[in-house]
Chains A and B, each alone.
Chain A
Amino acid sequence: MAQASPPTAIADLRRYLERSVGCEPAAGTLPFGQPAIDVETPGGGLALGHVHEISEGGFAAEYAGLAAIFAAGILARVSGPVLWCLRGRDLFAPALSRVGLSADRVIFCETWKDRDVLPAMEEGLHTRGLAAVVGELTKLSLTASRRLQLAAGASGVTGLIIRRWRNANEREDSEAPSASSTRWRVSPSPSPNTGFDGLYRQHWHLELLRARGGEPHSWIVEACDAAGSIRHVSTVGDRSPAADGQNRALAG
């Protein structure tokens, strides 16, 4: 049906819908620089001035280490100070610096409770001039996420929420619906053999679980490089020969 109507009509309709639900990109979008990914994300990348959620899959998911690196890779590609709200003491800053997020740019605030992280995030999202606010959270109610989304929309500061949990119940909580614009999941994926000792850059199974105005998708990507960019390896479900990448850089 959609194919029958002219593409401009679809674009107009999409713009109209975006305006009417109030999610018009306020501060532009940040492309991933990988056409295979950008084409499937609404607006052609990550909408700045919006709140996005990142969770992690796999066995070490509760530590959300890959989610933190994915977030740091995004922040490395925008300029300005960043507020990072921690809910524990386990973040290791050298890993963020390795994907291009310089230590000078990040102000950390550390608490032990979700209910302290949320107001801190909101405070940051109200501060014009910040590039982004990252918050590590377990529970995020619909109301709370709407507040964050409104604050982000008003100031143009991007919000990234890293979902964390400590047990199965909390994990269920972290999957509850929220008002964020997109939800991503990063899971480890086996990296290709090098043929000798050593490891390639890690591979991720990157999933766009939910996107306002878009469809869920998933890809296999190479983890962030020193500039924070991920590299598309293959699209899950896509078995084209182009998917088997060559000349990959050796990590480490």
Chain B
Amino acid sequence: MERQRRVLASVDEAAAKLGLEPGMTVTHAQSLIPDLTVVDATPSKDEAALLRLALWAIMYSPVVTPDYPDGLFIDVAGSAHLFHGEAALLADLTTRMAHAGITARAAIADTPGCAWAMARYGQASMVPPGGASQAIASLPVAALRLTTATIKSLHEVGIERVAQLASKPRASLSLRFGGEVLLRFDQAIGSVNEALPSLIPPEVPRAELKFAEPIGDPEDLKRVIDKLTNDLCGQLQVRGVGARRLDLVFLRVDNIAQGARIGLSRPHREPRHLAKMLCERLVVIDPGFGIETASLTASWIEALTERQTIGRHVSADSAEVDVSELVDTLSMRLGQNNVFKFSPVESALPERAVKRVSALKGISGAEWPPHLPRPARLFVHPEKIDVIAEMPDHPPRMFRWRNRQHRVAKADGPERMHGEWWVSQADEKLLRDYYRLETADGTRYWVFHNGPPGEAGTWWLHGVGEA
């Protein structure tokens, strides 16, 4: 309802195709489409639904703000790494929304204003760092989050695009249209910071500290983290749970929230370990002019039961060494994919005999066949070697590798490997004869000949250092 008139608050895709748009009066719409289905808008229900969506979006970042009536701000600055980068995070978000039946547009940019504009009016969904002003230049002025009245009066003086706005003198703009236009413009390009109050998920363990004087010294922040983790771990202990994910939010004096997030490979409530992990993420925190409030939230918790390791009737041998803390720390520093265990794969080809599995995988007992000699170093790309003298189906007598002639003193082979035709078509013709060669000085090489038996094919060096 707007001034006693019934207007359309929102239209679906089919209605939009028929030329209906929000803001039209219902009578006008009904005159265009006689059998139009009109449902009364329920803004309070919409708000509640948006709030639920915002709570869900906390899976992406600790700093989420619902932007009523139809938007969400998610500050992913400190958490995108957990999703393998911003682009992957965005893809994940849009896919999940689509699966839930929500038509949504999303964009990532330096500033909330720019992301708002790009999501609603822009073409690209990713704005590179520092590209905010360029990205919004060609957008209509409505992309600046202005009221309908302001947009209308801008249109009246012929200002349609953001770039036109930027070329006008600031003093006259603020005189004519009020401070709003300039503020929104500055927020979008990042010359004025915009504070987003973060939404607090209910019913989650949370610790908070407020400071009389703003703090900013890294040492102070570390002490704050120690205190917060101690508080939080106390709460976790009472509830019998451990944290799988922690969100640390620092609220600065300029009301800007700085967030950091850590993920844990198993539920944890050991303050020392959690504090250490959080301190490593302190690099992403910019304290600015100081921090007034710090909060730590365990946004993902799992049941954790205590286990007795010391005492009578507890054998020392059965206590498995807990390496999860080490794995967490290394995964955070080096990336989750770079901490792993190797596990055997039954495959005819050596390069496929190994796969990477989780570093916390338990004992499987699976091993590679022990009777097959294998090199300790396997070249990712086999290196071509020139074989000087050879008889078909026999190991070479000499080979040239890295501009040096190697005389083969002893050899063993061939070990024939066929391609796995069930894996790929290229494998069908694949046939390798592997030889172990020992040169005069005792160095061992693992070489293979590929090509049909009895014919001259190509020789490759695949590995060195043999057990």
Contacts and interface: CB of A to CB of B under 8 A. Distances in A.
B148 interface: no
B438 A199 contact: yes
A109 B377 contact: no
Interface string A164-185: 0000000000000000000000
Contacts of B366: 103-104
A124 B350 CA distance: 30
- The CB with the most chain A CB atoms within 10 A, among B341, B365, B380, B439, is that of B341
Interface stretch (B116-124, B126-134, B151-159, B408-416): B408-416
B323 interface: yes
Interface residues of B, number: 60
Interface in A64-115: 64-69, 72, 80-81, 83, 89-99, 102-104, 106-111
Contact of B354 (A93, A109, A110, A252): A93
B378 interface: yes
A197 interface: yes
Contacts of B466: 65, 69, 95, 202, 223
A116 B326 contact: no
Nearest to A83: B326
B441 A188 contact: yes
B373 A66 contact: no
A197 B443 contact: no
Contacts of A109: 330, 334, 338-340
A22 interface: no
Interface string A217-252: 000000110100000000000000000000000011
Interface in B336-383: 338-344, 350, 353-354, 359, 361-368, 370-380
A129 interface: yes
- The CB with the most chain B CB atoms within 10 A, among A93, A120, A123, A189, is that of A93
B10 to A, nearest CB: 51
Interface string A191-209: 1011001110011010000
Interface string B32-71: 0000000000000000000000000000000000000000
Contacts of A97: 344, 367-368, 370
Contacts of B465: 60, 63-69, 95
B467 interface: yes
A58 B406 CA distance: 13
A252 B321 contact: no
Contacts of B406: 59
B464 interface: yes
B341 A107 contact: yes
22 contacts: A58-B443, A63-B377, A65-B464, A66-B465, A91-B377, A94-B368, A94-B374, A95-B466, A95-B467, A98-B370, A102-B367, A106-B342, A107-B341, A108-B342, A110-B340, A129-B322, A189-B442, A193-B410, A199-B436, A199-B444, A223-B466, A252-B373
Interface of A: 58-60, 63-69, 72, 80-81, 83, 89-99, 102-104, 106-111, 116, 119-120, 123-124, 127, 129-130, 187-191, 193-194, 197-199, 202-203, 205, 223-224, 226, 251-252
Interface of B: 321-323, 325-327, 329-330, 333-334, 338-344, 350, 353-354, 359, 361-368, 370-380, 404, 406, 409-412, 436, 438-445, 463-467
Which 6 pairs across A and B sit closest by C-beta, in order of nearness? Answer: A65-B465, A129-B321, A188-B442, A92-B378, A65-B376, A93-B342
